[in-house]
Amino acid sequence: MKLFKNSLTTLFLALFIVGFTTNGNAQDKRQAVQTYNKALELVNSEDYEQAVSMFEEAIAQGEELGEEGQDIVERARKQLPTTYYQMALTEYRAFQNSKTLSSLDATISAFEEAGEVSEEYGNTQIAEKVPGVITQLMYNRALLQYQQEDFEAALATLDEVIERNANYAKAYYQKGIVTKNMEGGELNEALGYFDQAIEVGNQNNDNQIVTRSREAAGSELVYRGSQAIESKNFSNAVDYLNRALEYNESSEDAYYRLAEAYNGQQKWAEAVEAAQKSLELSNGGRTDKAKNYFSLGTAYQGLGQRADACDAFSNAAYGSFKNSAEHKMEFELKCENI
């Protein structure tokens, strides 16, 4: 009898422990579910940092439950990559408002973290998207550094961009822009970067960057040619301007400056050809074309073609060229019908 009573007591105690454990597990699971739901509420209210903390707490609570808490663990883990990505987007919006390097660096760090979490929890969509986003943000960093005239830092950042993506044509283009604006920057080095941008742009059908690179290279060469003309270094000017036409064969300004340089060298026939080409390409009115006609008139005058020179100077007698053209016609060429 005594043995029966002891056995009965042991049985009741075991049932009590099982019941207590079951009730305890149920309470723990409810707590984990509540934590997970709270995290979802925080996401909806865009409090992503607190949401991440709640999801991680839900994961810890779920793991303590073992198999019974696996559903909560999986659901919370699935939410973490998108939540981290939303945190990164929030940082990006803050950068858009401030446009500061510190804010941009915080944005890059946030996206890096989002990428790491996405890889850890198997969100391939975000994991594959993040590297391209970071590359673009680093390019933006280089633009900010360039605007702040921190040219060395800008070039270093652009090198990082190219290391991440050798097909990022804009990075080569921007290296050309930075280099040509640096004090003591080498022209040929800048042109080399523009050439790379054109090559990579063509390979990747980036027509916009190809056009921008051609225009930037051509404009810089026309500028150098103009400076050489002012310094009466006509030979160098011709070299610069012919190189400019290799980048943009439809450059009215390059042909106009080339006519000036040939006139300076007294290569009248070449000057006539260049001036006529500049007029063909010009879309301006009489005043805009006056400079082109003045160069053409000067070349014809050098060739001794008086009638052609008078005709050209009559078309040049507008705007700032009016007095000079009229002087040529009246006192040098003795043109009729002045």
Count of all residues that appear for the chain in the document: 338
Q: Are 258 and 241 in contact (CB under 8 A)?
A: yes
Distance of CA 106 to the CA centre of its chain: 19
Q: Are 91 and 110 in contact (CB under 8 A)?
A: yes
The closest of 184, 134, 182, 139 to 159, measured between CA atoms, is 139
Q: Highest-confidence range of 22-31, 183-192, 298-307, by mean pLDDT?
A: 298-307
Q: b/e for 181-206, b at 16 or more Cβ within 10 A?
A: ebeeeeeeebbbbbbbbbebbeeeeb
Residue 243 to residue 278: CA distance in whole angstroms? 16
The closest of 152, 194, 195, 191 to 173, measured between CA atoms, is 194
Which residues, 6+ apart, have CB-to-CB distance to 215 below 8 Å? 247, 248
For residues 95-118, give the mean pLDDT. 98
pLDDT digits (tens, 9 = 90+) for 218-273: 999 999 999 999 999 999 999 999 999 999 999 999 999 999 999 999 999 999 99
Three-state DSSP state, 138: helix
Class of the CATH domain delimited by 26-150 = mainly alpha
pLDDT digits (tens, 9 = 90+) for 92-103: 999 999 999 999
Residue 56 to residue 42: CA distance in whole angstroms? 13
| Confidence band of 107 (pLDDT split at 50, 70, 90) | very high
| DSSP labels, 81-109 | HHHHHHHHHHHHHHHHHH--HHHHHHHHH
Q: Are 25 and 65 in contact (CB under 8 A)?
A: yes
Which residues, 6+ apart, have CB-to-CB distance to 111 below 8 Å? 85, 88, 91, 92, 130, 133, 134, 137
Which residues, 6+ apart, have CB-to-CB distance to 119 below 8 Å? 127
In one-letter notation, the amino acid at residue 141 is R
pLDDT digits (tens, 9 = 90+) for 266-310: 999 999 999 999 999 999 999 999 999 999 999 999 999 999 999
The helices-and-strands tally (H runs, E runs) of the chain is 15, 0
User: Hey, where are the domains in the chain?
Assistant: 26-150
